[in-house]
Amino acid sequence: MTTAATDHRETAAHFTELVRGTTDWSAPAPVPDWTARDVVRHLIEWLTSFVRSGSGITLPAGPSVDTDPVAAWESHAAAVQALLDDPASADVMFTNQHTGSMPLPDAIAMFYTSDVFLHSWDLARATGQDERLDPDRCAAMFTGMLPMDAVLRTSGQYGPRVDVPDDADPQTKLLAFIGRDPR
């Protein structure tokens, strides 16, 4: 069984490779009005606020994404990993009006680590790097998100679904589901 710490370690390592491989931080990302830098900024800023508001834990601040996006990401990923590796985090409850209460590592895995996985494609696409995502994880995420389509659409976190053929591969189906045009 994969733990939240293991999942984050592996997912963040892949994203870190993409961050380190980025040479143009102003490259447009597939998310409208975002650049490669904005993808990294989003992941750092929203999780920091999410964790603080739902658990009272403040992640340590790292370098500015504007000054050094690589160092900012590496510092952030290390802080999240340290939190997940700490056995005491399993006893911290995360509470949010939209999600209810759950152990903090579960909340991070469900909402954040999955977001890092998805945004890996955005950063890779923006920067001309390898865009391939794990097909099994894509299939599992797509299957898990499909029954929540209406709720996810009204959250404002996903764009309109893009039409793709029924026989599309799992990555294409997942990306289209969250509003990305994989073509």
If you count them, how many residues does the chain have?
Answer: 183
Please give the Cα distance from 171 to 27 (Å, whole number). 22
Residues 122 and 180: beta-carbon distance below 8 Å: yes
- The whole model's pTM is what? 0.92
pLDDT tens-digit series, residues 66-78: 999 999 999 999 9
| All domains of the chain in start order, with CATH | 4-131 (1.20.120), 134-183 (no CATH)
Q: How much is the pLDDT for 183?
A: 78
Residues 135 and 170: beta-carbon distance below 8 Å: yes
Spans of the chain, pLDDT less than 50: none
